[in-house]
Amino acid sequence: MTDQTRWGIPEVQSRNKVKKYQDDNFNAAVKAAEALTRINLIHLMTRLEKTLKEKEEKYERETKERADKKIQSGD
């Protein structure tokens, strides 16, 4: 058994919980998608593409903001 007092154990457990939660969500989404009709699958794919684009834009914006803060703090 792993020593639970060792440094980093809570962080590893937290990452594992997040990964399991994401895996469970993904599997549930796939199962739900299998039950959809062709038309609804097309709508779902369109919605997912839009969501992905929004998340990518948000990620790029946040990355730029962090870089700008880092540059400003370095001055």
Query: What is the dihedral angle through the alpha carbons of 64, 65, 68, 69, rounded to the nearest 10 degrees?
Result: -150
56 found inside a domain: yes
Whether the pTM exceeds 0.75: the reply is no
Q: What is the pLDDT of residues 26-62, one digit of tens each?
A: 999 999 999 999 999 999 999 999 999 999 999 999 9
Q: Is 13 helix (H, G, I), strand (E, B) or coil?
A: helix
| Structural domain of 37 | 16-74
Give the number of domains in the chain: 1
pLDDT reported for residue 9:
84
CA distance 24 to 30: 10
Contact criterion met (CB below 8 Å) for 13 and 5: no
Q: What is the pLDDT of residues 2-35, one digit of tens each?
A: 666 677 788 899 999 999 999 999 999 999 999 9
Query: What is the dihedral angle through the alpha carbons of 63, 66, 20, 24, rounded to the nearest 10 degrees?
Result: -50
pLDDT reported for residue 44:
95
45 found inside a domain: yes
